[in-house]
């Protein structure tokens, strides 16, 4: 039995999570294993109910389950709250509380969607790389931080163990792929990046079968859109990974296509990388594929069932090949399907 905590969150979160839950139920029926899904509020939805973005009950449930499935958080309704009470702060807090130090973001181009990208098909065809973003350190958590009327300040800091553990995960993943890691930093300007580079190279000594190279973050941003196929595994800091993985999203044609996994020593959380998109919430326009692909990552990394992960990816590919498109990946003038219709098609392919 697998126990999953579902936290749909805000905006389109409940819609895309419903799609992922439908896939989980189909897989449970098909393969004969039991999945228990327990839903909890989070973010703005939790604030409206309980006056806080992350309740102790939700956090404790996340600590006691096998995997967490998250939709999206935030929206204009809660933007005027103090910074420490905003939904995004709750997201940082749950990552910290669950010690989710590694964020995995794949950038995979489906052949059926080559024309959906703003880049030329010949540039992106065959792109399939994985970004390892350090998630609980760096400038988002460094102290001191703050601002007044005349200054704002943040601190980018890393401890050795934080760099070592994310580097090891990246090298281990590369051993199962094309055995290439590119570490991305800004070592020509930032001392913390030089420290990052030094530690990554020390860890690399334990993985002699993996090729390691370094790249400055500004060059990496250019290279991802110039020649994305050169990348296999990327490892980088919290801030740089946040930016680069969103750039990678445009290679696939839409952020609605990109899943993610946030992994720690004892816990894991799976979520699409897109936001809550309040402008389309409740309209059935959201793309559920990123959240459904996040379930595939759940089976691969938490449940150690890579064959089922492959089933999900193949069902997505087959659905796209059949011509179905949600609004975000449809060509101009092309008819699009709803969130529910896309989900139902993927479930049918899984059943087949």
Give catalytic residues, as residue numbers.
140, 186, 218, 242, 246
- Closest to 244 in 3D by CA, of 129, 74, 100, 93: 129
Rounded CA-CA distance 106/245 in Å is: 8
For residue 21, what are its two tokens?
């839950």
Helix runs in 43-190, H state only: 44-50, 56-64, 87-97, 121-124, 160-175
C-beta of residue 12 within 8 angstroms of C-beta of residue 284: no
- Biggest CA pair distance of the chain: 62
For residue 289, CA distances in Å to 13, 15, 97, 256, 343 come to 12, 11, 28, 7, 8
Q: Which long-range contacts (CB under 8 A, 24 or more apart) does 220-223 make?
A: 220/182, 220/184, 220/244, 221/247
Name the one residue in this structure whose structure tokens are 């690399």: 204
């Amino acid at each position: 039995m697998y126990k999953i905590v579902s936290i749909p969150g805000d905006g389109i979160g409940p819609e895309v999570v419903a799609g992922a839950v439908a896939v989980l139920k189909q897989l449970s029926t098909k393969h004969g294993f039991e999945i228990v899904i327990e839903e909890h509020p989070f973010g703005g939805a939790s604030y409206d109910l309980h006056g806080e973005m992350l309740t102790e009950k939700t956090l404790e449930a996340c600590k006691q389950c096998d995997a967490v499935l998250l939709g999206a958080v935030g929206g204009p309704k809660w933007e005027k709250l103090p910074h420490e009470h905003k939904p995004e702060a709750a997201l940082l807090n749950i990552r910290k509380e669950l010690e989710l130090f590694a964020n995995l973001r794949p950038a995979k181009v489906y052949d059926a969607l080559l024309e959906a990208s703003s880049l030329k098909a010949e540039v992106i065809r065959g792109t399939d790389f994985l970004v390892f973003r350090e998630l609980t350190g760096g400038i988002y958590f460094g102290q001191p931080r703050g601002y007044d009327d005349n200054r704002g300040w943040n601190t980018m800091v890393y401890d050795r163990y934080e760099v070592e553990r994310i580097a090891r995960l990246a090298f281990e993943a590369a051993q199962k792929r094309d055995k290439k890691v590119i570490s991305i930093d800004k070592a020509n300007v930032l001392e913390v990046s030089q420290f990052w580079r030094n530690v990554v190279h020390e860890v690399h000594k334990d993985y002699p079968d993996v090729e390691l190279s370094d790249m400055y973050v500004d060059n990496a941003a250019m290279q991802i859109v110039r020649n994305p196929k050169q990348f296999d595994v990327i490892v980088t800091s919290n801030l740089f990974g946040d930016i680069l993985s969103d750039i990678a999203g445009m290679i696939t044609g839409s952020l609605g296509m990109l899943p993610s996994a946030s992994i720690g020593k004892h816990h894991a959380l799976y979520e699409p990388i897109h936001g809550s998109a309040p402008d389309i919430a409740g309209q059935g326009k959201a793309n559920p594929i990123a959240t459904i692909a996040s379930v595939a990552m759940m089976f691969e990394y938490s449940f150690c069932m890579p064959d089922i992960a492959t089933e999900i990816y193949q069902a997505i590919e087959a659905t796209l090949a059949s011509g179905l498109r949600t609004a975000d990946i449809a060509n101009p003038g092309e008819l699009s399907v709803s969130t529910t219709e896309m989900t139902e098609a993927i479930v049918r392919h899984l059943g087949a």
